[in-house]
Amino acid sequence: MKSRQTGFTLIELVMVIVLIGVLAAVAVPKFVDLGSDARAAAAQGVAGGLSSAASINYAARKARSTNGVAVTNCQHVGPLLQGGLPSGYAITDTTVAADASVDCTVTGPSSATATFSAIGIN
């Protein structure tokens, strides 16, 4: 009786290695710089919170002048966030007229920027 050896041939193994190499070459660049995408997304999240806080403050202040705080500068919106503006973030110093909406810029760590709307109110 002859026993037949089973297993993979050298060609099959080489083809698998080539396919894994091609998949790695395609996938690796997509995952190399996820840090900058994460920082940009974090800055956009903070900007969204600032826009929401400015709108809520405007509505509260319009309803009763003792509610909320006066916003005459983009930087006045930062403290409106619950817990304040996160560390490492800065807001541009832009004047906001009463009852006017202005686009302001928030800058996060590693210079990631995003814009938000501030509504001025006295």
Residue-level pLDDT at 35:
85
pLDDT for residue 94 is more than 90: yes
Q: Mean per-residue pLDDT for 84-99?
A: 94
Q: What is the pLDDT of residues 37-52, one digit of tens each?
A: 899 999 999 999 999 9
Confidence bin at 77 (pLDDT 50/70/90): very high
Residue-level pLDDT at 97:
94
pLDDT for residue 1 is more than 70: no
Per the prediction, the chain carries an average pLDDT of 92
SS3 per-residue string spanning the chain: CCCCCCCCCHHHHHHHHHHHHHHHHHHHHHHHCHHHHHHHHHHHHHHHHHHHHHHHHHHHHHHCCCCCCCECEHHHHHHHCCCCCCCCCEECCCECCECCEEEEEEECHHHCEEEEEEEEEC
- The domain ranges of the chain are 38-119
